[in-house]
Amino acid sequence: MRPVLYIARKLPDEALRVAENDCEVRLWDRESEPVPRNVLLDQLRDAEGLVSVLTERVDEELLKAAPRLKVVANMAVGYDNIDVEACRRHGVIVTNTPDVLTETTADLAWALLLATARRLPQSAELVRDGGWTTWSPLGLTGLDIYGKSLGILGMGRIGEAVARRAQGFGMTILYHNRRPRPEVEERLGARYLSLDALLREADILVILTPLTAETRHLIGRNELAKMKSTAILVNVSRGPVVDEEALVDALRQGVIWGAGLDVYEREPIGADHPLLQLDNAVCLPHIGSATVATRTAMARLAVQNAVNVLKGEKPLTPV
Ligand code: DGY
């Protein structure tokens, strides 16, 4: 009998085909709607593999409901939705999808950075609303990027890809990381700073650190107060790394100049979220890796990881 692989979101056909010979694939067949928790737990009763996305909370309760489970293959590089320690206790292997999304996410970080600094959403809206009446000397003026300092908080693969792009903008590259990375300093001329110094010196701070117990609310009121009043904060990692209430206040009071956000403390945010009342915040719906090619590659890799484990082979990208 082939092992049951439960896939918790409708994925591209070519990703599903990766499992068709080796597994009995069961699928939550909707793309824009997460599987309800009770359905997920029910489906996992006899499943040996789970392909999850970031809306699935993999915790003790789920693991107890899935006694045959051998692998949780997350279709994301981040895996803060998974209690990895609990999985280890239950002998369940966890995998993620690094590398395939690095460049795409770095592109989005830059798109968001530029959109925020040059006020692109407001500008496009003005034209669309018929409000463009004349060229005006100081109308919709933003901030320069060229020649400024870019501060990367979390110098992993994506941080490096973001920093590489900054070279074309003649920027000074600063970073803070759990450990300094001399090889990146050599490759990109980046300079390691303490978090405190990074906050004080960066014109643009791009947050790329994973969400862990240590990084939750790493950027709060005190940290924002250390930043320049002309600084821009860009977050493309996980919302809870930033204390959102403190960020809203900082943007309202001009403690910092602007923010470009792809991620939030609770997703999705509703139309009444305070960030959406602000003219100096550009808000996107968690689309860092959202290109057809990259999402397809992520889906294929996640399914391949699950299939490998179910066939008794090594997963390609274990956590
Ligand atoms: C990730 O991979 O962690 C992204 O946030 C999901 O696209």
**Would you state the structure tokens that stand for residue 73, as one six-digit string?**
């293959």
If pLDDT is split at 50, 70 and 90, which confidence band does 292 have?
Answer: very high
Domain membership of residue 317 (yes or no) is: no
Active-site residue, 267 included: yes
Say how far apart CA 206 and CA 188 lie, in whole Å: 16
Please tell me the pTM assigned to this model.
0.97
How far is Cα 305 from Cα 123, in angstroms, rounded to an integer? 44
Question: Which atom from ligand 1 is nearest to the alpha carbon of 101?
Answer: 2
Average pLDDT over residues 129-153: 97
Position 210 scores a pLDDT of 97
Q: From the CA of 282, how far away is ligand 1's center (Å)? A: 19
Q: Are residues 95 and 106 in the same domain?
A: no
Question: In terms of Cα–Cα distance, which of 107, 159, 122 is closest to 287?
Answer: 107
Residue 164 structure tokens: 């590489």
The model's pLDDT over 35-51, given as tens digits with 9 standing for 90+, comes to: 999 999 999 999 999 99
List all residues 6 or more positions away from 278 whose beta carbon is below 8 Å from its beta carbon.
248, 251, 252
CATH value at residue 306: 3.40.50.720
89 — phi, psi (to 5°)? -60, -35
Question: Is residue 11, in this structure, part of any structural domain at all?
Answer: yes
Q: What is the pLDDT of residue 318?
A: 98
- 93 with 198, same domain? no
Mutation pick for ligand 1 pocket among 9, 77, 263, 286 (CB with most ligand atoms within 8 Å): 77
ipTM for the assembly: 0.95
Q: Is 63 domain-assigned? A: yes
**249 and 120 together in one domain:** yes
**142 CB near ligand 1 (under 6 Å):** no
- Region 57-83: mean pLDDT is 98
What mean pLDDT, rounded, does the chain reach? 98
Q: Which two tokens stand for residue 140?
A: 């919709």
To test the ligand 1 pocket, which listed residue (56, 75, 80, 101) has its Cβ within 8 A of the most ligand atoms?
101
Distance 253 CA to ligand 1 centre (A): 31
Q: Exposed, middle or buried: residue 122 (CB in 10 Å: 0-12, 13-18, 19+)?
A: middle
pLDDT of residue 290: 98
Residue 146 within any structural domain of the chain: yes
Mean pLDDT of 275-289: 98
Confidence band (pLDDT; 50, 70, 90) for 172? very high
At a CB cut-off of 8 Å and minimum separation 6, what does 283 contact?
261, 264, 269, 273, 275, 276
What's residue 242's pLDDT? 98
Same domain membership, residue 271 and residue 208: yes
Q: Which residues contact 303 (CB under 8 A, 6 or more apart)?
A: 5, 7, 11, 15, 16, 18, 19, 51, 73
Q: Answer yes or no: is the C-beta of 78 below 6 A from any ligand 1 atom.
A: yes
Q: Measure 205 CA to ligand 1 centroid, in angstroms.
A: 19
Ligand 1 centroid to 284 CA: how many Å? Answer: 14
What SS3 state is found at 207? strand
Tens digit of each residue's pLDDT (9 = 90 or more) over 219-276: 999 999 999 999 999 999 999 999 999 999 999 999 999 999 999 999 999 999 999 9
**Band of the pLDDT at 149, cuts 50, 70, 90?**
very high
Q: Is 51 in the pocket of ligand 1 (CB under 6 A)?
A: no
CA distance 174 to 280: 24
Q: Mean per-residue pLDDT for 131-154?
A: 97
First to last CA, the chain: 28
Domain membership of residue 113 (yes or no) is yes
> Does residue 153 share a domain with residue 77?
no
Give the pLDDT of residue 82.
98
- Residue 315 placed within a domain: no
**What's residue 204's pLDDT?**
98
Catalytic residue among 238, 244, 295, 300: 238
For residue 39, what are the domain limits? 4-99+293-310
| Measured torsion, CA atoms of residues 266, 268, 269, 272, in degrees rounded to the nearest 10 | -140
The pLDDT > 70 percentage for the chain reads 100
The residue-averaged pLDDT of 59-65 equals 98
Residues 198 and 82 in one domain: no
Q: Is the beta carbon of 289 within 6 A of some atom in ligand 1?
A: yes
Taking residues 53-75, report their average pLDDT: 98
Ligand 1 contact, 77 CB (< 6 A): yes
pLDDT digits (tens, 9 = 90+) for 192-222: 999 999 999 999 999 999 999 999 999 999 9
Q: How confident is the model at residue 23 (pLDDT cuts 50, 70, 90)?
A: very high
Q: Which residues contact 89 (CB under 8 A, 6 or more apart)?
A: none
Whose Cα sits closest to atom 6 in ligand 1? 76
* DSSP character at residue 193: -
Total count of domains within the chain = 2
Q: Does one domain contain both 92 and 110?
A: no
